[in-house]
Structure 1
Amino acid sequence: MKKLGLLTGVFLLCCLSSCVEQQNFEQYDEVAVTPLLEAALLYLETPESEINRQTSPSFVSTTFDFEAFSEQFVAEGILEGSLIYQLENTTSKPLQITLEFLDASGQVLDTETFLMDPAPTAILNREVVYGPAGKPLEILTNTTALRVSGTNLGDQTSVSGEPEPRFVLRSTAKFRISLT
């Protein structure tokens, strides 16, 4: 029994003399939630036979709605972002692809142009950064539509030796948004 009392006394003495840090419950104010959101943006595919059918050099011209920033909290909370493009040309034609960022009145805010050699070529990858380390974020936050144009810089008769020759555009978007 004396040992139990002595052990309890030593335990209490250790607890009273241990280091205890003052708790700061105001740290909650410093918490910031900034998720990284990633999503597919565009996918466009055109077979070489369709490019050959066109009577003009333009083989595609289309406009897509871009409403990624239609919600105010997203437009105001975006911190940075990037658009990643992957283009593949297995046709026998050199191609020029133009992507235009349009505002609500149809004015061009920014343009990305891609020149591609005929097959065989490597897949073209490009990442365009927006925010403190890149282009102004206002380009993205004011964009309401994307216009994609494709121009055949070659002829309308040649055919690639590749199986199922085609042009493919893939793109994804990554955005870091503050939710605080």
Structure 2
Amino acid sequence: MKKCSHLIVSLLLVVLLFSCSEQQDFGQYDDLEITPTYETSIFYVKTQESLINRISGLNFFTQDFNFDAFEEDLFAERVIEGVLTYELVNTTSKEIEITLEFLDENDTVLDTEFFQMDAAPTALLIREVAYGITGKSLDIITNTSKIRLSARNLGDNSSRSSLPDPAIILSSSAKFMVRLK
């Protein structure tokens, strides 16, 4: 009787093992696409009107920002598309111009973004620049190693805005889709 019950249990285990399993398809990995979207802030620059008033001449701000983030092979070889978003606020009494130059490692200009904004009161200026299939070439982004920001005062050096804490604020962010597999 003991042998018979062991035999029945063994047969049941064998039947359960084969009846509950499916053929595994390990080729599904080849069909898998992983394309996450990454977002990051690029820069934030704020210049007070009092500082602008102290600087004679048109140019009141020029700075180069080291920007090697897009040179990494993980990104450069796998980026599909993306958008750079710029936000500009001018609460000063000055009309301004801002130029952004995207430079490669040899300081060759790859692309330029130009902004002009009237004196306050002005609305928030938002600009989205697409890269990839529906926009500018991805080579601009993947080859950029430096961003040069230049700002010019097209107004005077004595007026003061009546708004509290008058300043020019430029910020930017990036959102890119990358193929991981």
TM-score above 0.5, yes or no: yes
Structure 2 counterpart of 1:50: 51
* Counterpart secondary structure, 2:27: helix
Residue by residue over 1:146-176, the C-alpha shift from the partner in whole angstroms, topping out at 9 and shown as x without a partner, is 0000000111111001001000001100011
* Counterpart secondary structure, 2:119: coil
**Alpha-carbon distance in 2 for matches of 1:125, 1:117:** 14
Structure 2 counterpart of 1:165: 166
Residue by residue over 1:75-126, the C-alpha shift from the partner in whole angstroms, topping out at 9 and shown as x without a partner, is 1001001100000000000000000000000010000000001000000000
Structure 2 counterpart of 1:178: 179
Give the deviation of 1:70 after TM superposition: 2.6
Give the deviation of 1:178 after TM superposition: 0.8
Structure 2 counterpart of 1:137: 138
Whichever residue aligns with residue 29 of structure 2, its letter is Y
Whichever residue aligns with residue 98 of structure 1, its letter is T
Structure 2 counterpart of 1:128: 129
* Counterpart secondary structure, 2:100: strand
Give the deviation of 1:23 after TM superposition: 5.8
**Alpha-carbon distance in 2 for matches of 1:70, 1:107:** 16
Structure 2 counterpart of 1:117: 118
TM-score by length of 2: 0.86
Which ranges of structure 1 fall in alignment gaps of 5 or more residues?
A: 1-15
Structure 2 counterpart of 1:83: 84
* Counterpart secondary structure, 2:42: strand
Structure 1 counterpart of 2:73: 72
**Alpha-carbon distance in 1 for matches of 2:133, 2:101:** 22
* Counterpart secondary structure, 1:52: helix
Q: How does 1:17-28 map to 2 (within 5 A)?
A: 24-28=25-29
Q: In the comparison of the two structures, how many residue pairs are matched?
A: 162
Give the deviation of 1:127 after TM superposition: 0.3
**Alpha-carbon distance in 1 for matches of 2:23, 2:135:** 43
TM-score by length of 1: 0.86
- Provide runs of 4+ in structure 1 moved above 2 Å: 21-25
> Does structure 1 conserve the Cα–Cα contact (< 8 Å) formed by 2:71 and 2:143?
no
Which ranges of structure 2 fall in alignment gaps of 5 or more residues?
A: 1-18
* Counterpart secondary structure, 1:69: helix
**Alpha-carbon distance in 1 for matches of 2:26, 2:146:** 46
RMSD of the TM alignment (CA)? Answer: 1.5
Give the deviation of 1:71 after TM superposition: 1.5
**Alpha-carbon distance in 1 for matches of 2:24, 2:145:** 48
